[in-house]
Amino acid sequence: MIGETHALTAVESPSHGVRSPATPALLSSYLAHDSLFSSASHQLHARGVLETLVHSIDTDLAGESERLLARVANDSGRLPLMGAVPFSASQASCLWVPSQAAFAAGRARHRGAALSSLPSDQKAAPRVESVPAPAQFKRNVERSLDRIHDGGISKVVMSRSLRIAARVDVPQLLAQLLTRAPGAYTFAMDLAGAAGPKACLIGSSPELLLSKRGARVVSNPLAGSIPRVADAEEDQRRARGLLESAKDRYEHALVVDAVAAALRPYCRDLRVPKTPSLVATPTMWHLSSVVDGELIDPNTSSLRLALALHPTPAVCGYPTEPARGVIHELEGYDRGLFTGLVGWCDAEGDGEWAVTIRCAMVEEDSATVFAGAGIVAGSEPDAELAETTAKLGTMLNAMGLTQAVEASGAEGRA
């Protein structure tokens, strides 16, 4: 089970065909302060910090990462670079080469009961602060719609956060996420050892920003969403309505077109679906398009490609810089790593990067969870608030905090 002590063995990445250790052994050795990234194809489990990528804001982050990986490759057995890049280009990334790492084929799975991620001795309901408050979030949506109506932007993403005064057991939360959302990109990145905050960035993202293996590159943008419901008939009705929604298809097309435009200079061949499909998480339906291509230069790194995409209109808006300005003006809090990218890249440039959504920053005595919604012409403030509430449910349900948040009243002042 998660939490038992085992040593990790440094192994080469999946680009070399290595498939060890076995999946159960890899996950069973996870300890607090380890880092893990799990996807459908493989998982990476890391421990310690061999070297941190130190860079200034105005440097070439992709180039610095490539030089770091080349420098440590001779001594490290091709250990990967891993970590997270923030939403804002004005903030430093948190990227490092671990001192130990292990890859395994297939998705990490938790075997056994998924226990509560709250300590057993925590009796009192935690204090909850909503930033911005629900009523302010709706005003932010209204003001965003005014900006769209005035011209200059077609879409902007408004987000909000919940700051919860509770101690969260990270290994148990990771087990919950792996159990509840087996199709997601699940991650737990311990940031303190890489000169980051004393916190763990943990989440279960449904959205692949970019994966690269050899010459093949894939991105899976999601945009256009609706909350799911327990009633199966109504849930399917909502899914069909989303697929037929002109507003949501327009929002989705903005993102797909931007992704294709960013990747096209790097690709000799790029395949872009003409129409979106549906994907489901435990709490949401999303419009989805899988964009894949063949690189002109197979040595182009996954991080360089991911940075060329970031931030997509799915997390920022369109056009990027005017939308970023509206976010800075209206949101009222610092996103930090939320809506950035999280993942890994090896010395050959292969790697996988997810969009940092459905996530939390877990500190010693608190956790902050985040959610956002894309605002386009036709968006409604109440519906966008409901969408963010449903998205917050991914982490709150896994933490066992949904009822505590409801009881706090922090979500009721709309």
Lowest mean pLDDT across 96-105, 138-147, 206-215, 222-231: 96-105
| % of the chain beyond a pLDDT of 90 | 74
User: For the segment 23-79, what is each residue's pLDDT rounded down to a tens digit?
Assistant: 445 556 788 889 999 999 889 999 999 999 977 676 799 999 999 999 888 665 679
Place of tokens 């493989």: 42
Lateral strand order in the sheet of 284-288: 222-227, 284-288, 277-280
Place of tokens 């009881």: 407
3-state secondary structure of 260: helix
Domains annotated on the chain, with CATH: 14-111+127-408 (3.60.120.10)
Lowest mean pLDDT across 16-25, 60-69, 139-148, 353-362: 16-25
E strand intervals along 306-403:
317-318, 341-345, 351-355, 359-362, 367-375
Length of the chain counted residue by residue:
414
The pTM for the full model equals 0.91
Q: Which residues of 171-198 are buried (b: 16+ CB within 10 A; e: fewer)?
A: bbbbbbbbebbbebbbbbbbbebbebee
Q: What is the mean pLDDT of residues 129-141?
A: 97
Lowest mean pLDDT across 67-76, 225-234, 334-343: 67-76
* DSSP string across 221-252: -EEEEEE--SSHHHHHHHHHHHHH-HHHHHHH
Residue 147: left (phi > 0), alpha (psi -120 to 50), or beta?
alpha
Task: Give me the active site residues, please.
Answer: 155, 207
Return the pLDDT at 110.
53
Instruction: Please state, as a whole number, how many other Cβ atoms lie within 10 Å of the Cβ of residue 16.
Output: 13
DSSP state of 266: G
Report the sign of the C-alpha dihedral through residues 225, 226, 229, 231, in that order. Answer: negative
Here the tokens at position 291 are 């964009």
Q: How confident is the model at residue 338 (pLDDT cuts 50, 70, 90)?
A: very high
Residues 71/197/352/17 CA torsion (nearest 10 deg)? 50
Q: Are 243 and 276 in contact (CB under 8 A)?
A: yes
Among 15-29, 92-106, 178-192, 209-223, top mean pLDDT goes to: 209-223
DSSP state of 194: G
Here the tokens at position 326 are 């509206």
Name the residue among 174, 206, 179, 178 with its Cα closest to residue 190. 174
Please state, in angstroms and rounded to a whole number, the distance separating the CA atoms of residues 338 and 360: 8
